[in-house]
């Protein structure tokens, strides 16, 4: 779909990547409606909603139908970094709800109206970490791995319909999404970071090309392929990553215990 034909519903539109996506799409001629928990940015149609709630999903689906959205971009998400032993159970649940369940539920709610469009697209913003398991990102990577699996299955399920399902998988990006600990980890491991504008340009290209998926960055694209082929044989490649993690507490976190 050409950008000028696109009416894009964009979750996470107030975040670092989301803002860059909205600007790139608008500059290319697309109409953009943003979704977020906060107040609307100036000049953008906006739905204020919490997508982890039934009411939030229903509000966004209703607004998207009235606005005649034909492209859904799931860019909202929640971070998680650090040893599993230092990750509270509440954070694990919040990350899975924001990164996996919310896009699944919103897609389900939007699907009837998208199927009525002559042409429609659903783009899931995943992560290279959804295909490459890195120490320190077990929870975040699990949420994105689930999203990749959901998108792949849905793409095949809807192959004979007007709805195209796509996945954009950035690597680490220079935004406030990554805290100081991730910045230090990336420096220690030599992990490259892209600008939000690079990711936004990739989104625009993906929408217009209608390709199934796109992974950003080298060597990440190569690592995704090798990890799929070799799996456990690559485990020894991540010694530096494992040793660059913040120290984990000695005690085990008990689910439901105060943290």
Q: What is the pLDDT of residue 258?
A: 41
Integer Cα distance of 75 and 17 in angstroms: 8
Integer Cα distance of 89 and 220 in angstroms: 29
Q: Which of 79, 192, 58, 177 is nearest to 136 (CA)?
A: 79
Residue 256 lies in a domain: no
Q: What is the pLDDT of residue 77?
A: 93
Q: What is the pLDDT of residue 213?
A: 92
7-11 and 31-36 beta bridge pairing: parallel
Chunk the chain into consecutive blocks of 10 residues (it has 259) and report each block's average pLDDT, rounded to whole numbers.
96 92 97 92 90 96 97 95 94 97 98 96 94 91 96 95 96 82 86 89 97 87 76 74 73 45
Q: What is the pLDDT of residue 148?
A: 95
Note down the domain range covering 175. Answer: 3-243
Residue 254 lies in a domain: no
Question: The domain spanning residue 35 has which CATH number?
Answer: 3.40.50.720
Residue 188 lies in a domain: yes
Residue 170 lies in a domain: yes
Integer Cα distance of 163 and 58 in angstroms: 20
Q: What is the pLDDT of residue 229?
A: 72
Residue 258 lies in a domain: no
Whole-structure pTM value:
0.86
Residue 210 lies in a domain: yes
Number of domain units in the chain: 1
Q: Which of 181, 201, 197 is nearest to 189 (CA)?
A: 181
Residue 131 lies in a domain: yes
163-169 and 120-125 beta bridge pairing: parallel
Residue 203 lies in a domain: yes
Q: What is the pLDDT of residue 180?
A: 86
With beta carbons less than 8 A apart as the criterion, state whether 67 and 45 touch.
Answer: yes
């Amino acid at each position: 779909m050409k950008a000028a034909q696109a009416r894009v519903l964009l979750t996470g539109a107030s975040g670092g990547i989301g803002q860059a996506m909205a600007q790139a799409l608008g500059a290319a001629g697309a109409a953009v409606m943003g979704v977020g928990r906060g107040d609307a940015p100036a000049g953008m149609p906006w739905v204020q909603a919490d997508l982890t709630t039934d009411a939030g999903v229903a509000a966004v689906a209703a607004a998207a139908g009235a606005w005649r959205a034909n492209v859904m971009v799931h860019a909202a998400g929640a971070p998680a970094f650090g040893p599993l032993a230092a990750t509270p159970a509440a954070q694990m649940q919040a990350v899975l709800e924001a990164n996996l369940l919310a896009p699944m539920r919103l897609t389900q709610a939007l699907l009837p109206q998208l199927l009525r469009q002559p042409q429609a697209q659903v783009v899931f913003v995943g992560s290279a970490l959804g295909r490459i398991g890195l120490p320190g990102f077990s929870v975040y990577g699990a949420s994105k791995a689930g999203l990749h699996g959901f998108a792949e299955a849905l793409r095949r399920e809807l192959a004979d319909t007007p709805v195209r399902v796509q996945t954009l998988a950035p690597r680490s990006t220079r935004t406030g999404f990554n805290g100081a600990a991730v910045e230090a980890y990336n420096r220690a491991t030599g992990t490259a970071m892209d600008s939000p504008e690079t990711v936004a340009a990739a989104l625009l290209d993906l929408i217009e090309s209608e390709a199934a998926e796109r992974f950003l960055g080298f060597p990440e694209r190569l690592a995704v392929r090798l990890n799929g082929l070799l799996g456990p044989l690559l485990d020894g490649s991540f010694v530096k990553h494992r040793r660059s993690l913040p120290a984990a507490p000695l005690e085990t976190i008990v689910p439901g215990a105060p943290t």
